[in-house]
Structure 1
Amino acid sequence: MNAKKVLVAGATGYLGQFLVKELKKRGYWVRVLIRKEAQKGMFKEVDDIFVGQVTDPDSIQGITKGIDWVFSSIGITRQKEGMLYMDVDYQGNSNLLKEAVKEKVEAFQYISAINGDKLRQLKIFEAKERFVDELKNSGLQYCIIRPNGFFSDMKDFLSMAKAGRVYLFGEGHKKLNPIHGEDLAKVCLDQMMLGTKEITVGGPDILSQNDLAVLALKAWQKPIKITHLPDWTRRFMIWLLRTFTSSKTYGPVEFFMTAMAFDNIANCYGSHKLEDFYKLEVEKMKKNKQ
């Protein structure tokens, strides 16, 4: 049994679930934070379950008592249930950090995103990076992980491909190396053990958007049909949404559309292939339909 006691906040999310499994595999004592009693069934192997909401500081009092390391992947992509990025990605994590400082935890790891520090003008990054600043000034040992897109984020290409055609903005040459949650969980723990301050993390394969489209269409066994839309349409859509909708609506679209205009290449880690992930997802979708 590892002597460290660990808290995983965001445990029910894509990365959080893999992180819990990796920590238990390596013998750590693990406490998870969940929002609802009904989520308890998701965690059979953990040592302690704490029910509370990071957006309600009173409900998480004492959550870090006896804890050495905190891992937080708390954040939202789509703003719903009346919650904005500032409420969750910033304030929720800030509430958790206050508890960690109070209990003098040894180290706090936060999962932000690649290029978040360079794209603070986006609503989602404005909130994440405000918390990053606060964590760095907290006096605690910190570790900022900046992952590239998760495999789960790449499902949008699969959804388009199912209909037989993938639409891309520009020429489709921009590259990224998305990472599987299992691979990322290993990196998160390894970097915490090493005492790394800040690192960008991506998967083993650097792929262009055209490559992603081809992989998605092949997974559905469809002919390769890709339509390239002029890049001005992407910029116009962002302007249109910012002008005529609230940040609740345009936040996630602004994030994805802005990210698509850059190369997003992070340090390469892991062994999972996106091609295999796509094939498994298609099999799942076909089974669910039966």
Structure 2
Amino acid sequence: MADFKPSRVLVTGAGGRTGQIVYKKLKEKTDQYDTRGLVRREESKEKIGGADDVFVGDVRDVESIIPAIQGIDSLIILTSAVPKMKPGFDLTKGGKPEFYFEDGLYPEQVDWIGQKNQIDAAKAAGVKHIVLVGSMGGTNLNHPLNSLGNGNILVWKRKAEQYLADSGVPYTIIRAGGLQDKEGGIRELLVGKDDELLNTETKTVTRDDVAEVSIQALQFEEVKFKAFDLASKPERVGTPTKDFKALFSQITTRF
């Protein structure tokens, strides 16, 4: 095995809350992966260590991301538009906070055009597998997330997912439930389809578990050309998931 070369993986959105976890986990597996990150700003690059393998580019400008994508084997897409709360909201007075997206950073531009650009560049570069992390809720046009900042974020995410599924590139689409900033690796993970899990008590998942599933997806043929919803049972209910091949074998849906 002297000629074994680590698989070259690019994590886009590596400065985001889930992206940082994926990038860090991959960097710890130097025997398996040669990892790169893509961030939008120099400050984000510094935030995750400022290594030479972190590229700065804007997914809305396809030319700016080509250097990061050249020569990679796999791509994990974790870019997403981020709604911001309008200033002046007073929690003590009740009511609902209002949200907005910064100009040019609406879901249409980031989650649709930005992801389409990544898929196109990856396909042109001969990338062998694209893992796309999205959100549950895309089957419901009236989902509350769509109303945030009038962004229709799930609509645009779904459009990008469909584009990837139609691209011909081997893909894995992970539609995560509500994201929690809690310890990962200690819950039983659940896979589903068509937002069925949203009708259950188990519709959340930790960012750490999403990150782990994204990385595990690189290793198993069972999860190529598949799309699935991801959530978990509460802590101490069920058995923590360790056998990802078995988890992925439950998935039957291509989209």
TM-score scaled to structure 2, two decimals?
0.67
Task: Give, in whole Å, the separation in 2 of the partners of 1:35 and 1:77.
Answer: 13
Q: Counterpart of 2:195?
A: none
Distance, in Å, in 1 between the alignment partners of 2:39 and 2:171 is: 23
State which of 172, 188, 201 in structure 1 corresponds to 2:214: 188
Q: Which has the larger radius of gyration?
A: 1
SS in 2 for 1:199: strand
Question: Is residue 119 from structure 1 mapped to residue 140 from structure 2 by the alignment?
Answer: yes
Q: Which residue of 2 aligns with 1:128?
A: 157
> What whole-Å deviation, never above 9, does each CA across 1:260-282 have from its counterpart, x for those lacking one?
xxxxxxx99669xxxxxxxxxxx
1:69 is aligned, of 61, 71, 74, to: 74
SS in 1 for 2:67: coil
Q: Does 1:139 align with 2:168?
A: yes
Asked if the contact 1:203–1:270 (Cα under 8 Å) also holds between the matched residues in 2, the reply is no
Equivalent of 1:60 in 65, 69, 84: 65
Letter in 2 for 1:181: R
Offset at residue 92 of structure 1 (A) = 0.5
**Distance (whole Å) between structure 1 residues aligned to residue 63 and residue 75 of structure 2:** 18
CA 1:46/1:144 → structure 2, altered by over 3 Å: closer, same or farther?
farther
Higher strand share: 2
Which structure 1 residue ranges, 5 or more long, are not aligned? 154-172, 207-266, 272-290
Amino acid aligned to 1:4: S
Query: Is structure 2 residue 110 aligned with structure 1 residue 81?
Result: no
Q: Return closer, same or farther for 1:64/1:205 CA change in 2, 3 Å cut-off.
A: same
What amino acid maps onto 1:141 in structure 2?
Answer: P
For residue 74 of structure 1, report the CA deviation from its aligned partner.
0.8
Q: Is the 8 A contact 2:174 2:228 kept in 1?
A: yes
Which structure 2 residue ranges, 5 or more long, are not aligned? 84-99, 147-151, 183-198, 243-255
Question: Helix, strand or coil: the match of 1:198?
Answer: strand
TM-superposed CA distance for 1:49, in Å, is 1.5
Cα displacement (A) at 1:62: 2.9
CA displacement 1:170-216 (0-9 Å, x = unmatched)? xxx9733422222221111112311311222113318xxxxxxxxxx
In structure 1, the residue matched to 2:10 is: 7
- Distance in 2 of aligned mates of 1:11 and 1:268: 30
Matching residue of 2:227 = 198
141-150 vs 39-48, greater mean Cα deviation? 39-48
1:37-57 CA-partner distances (Å, limit 9, x unpaired)? 222222338561211111122
Aligned pairs (5 A) from 1:153-192: 175-192=201-218
Q: Which amino acid aligns with 1:90?
A: W
Matched, 1:101 2:101: no
Q: What is the root-mean-square deviation in Å for CA atoms of aligned residues?
A: 2.6
Structure 2 CA distance for partners of 1:62 and 1:2, relative to 1, 3 Å = same
Partners of 1:57 and 1:120 lie apart in 2 by 29
Report the Cα distance in structure 1 between the residues aligned to 2:228 and 2:42, rounded to whole angstroms: 34
Question: Following superposition of structure 1 onto structure 2, how do residues 205-224 of structure 1 map, counting pairs within 5 Å?
Answer: 205=234
Does residue 90 (structure 1) correspond to residue 119 (structure 2)? The answer is: no
Q: Is contact 2:82-2:101 (8 Å) kept? A: no
How many residues end up aligned between the 2 structures?
A: 191
Q: Which residue number in structure 2 is paired with residue 217 of structure 1?
A: none
Which is richer in helix?
Answer: 1
CA contact (8 A) 1:64 1:100 kept: yes
Cα deviation for residue 119 of structure 1 reads 1.8
Aligned to 2:179: 150
Equivalent in the alignment of 1:243: none
Please state whether the residue corresponding to 1:110 is helix, strand or coil: strand
How many percent identity over aligned positions?
A: 27
Shift of 1:68: 0.4
Between the aligned partners of 1:268 and 1:93, the Cα distance in structure 2 is: 35
Paired residues for 1:258-273 under 5 Å:
none
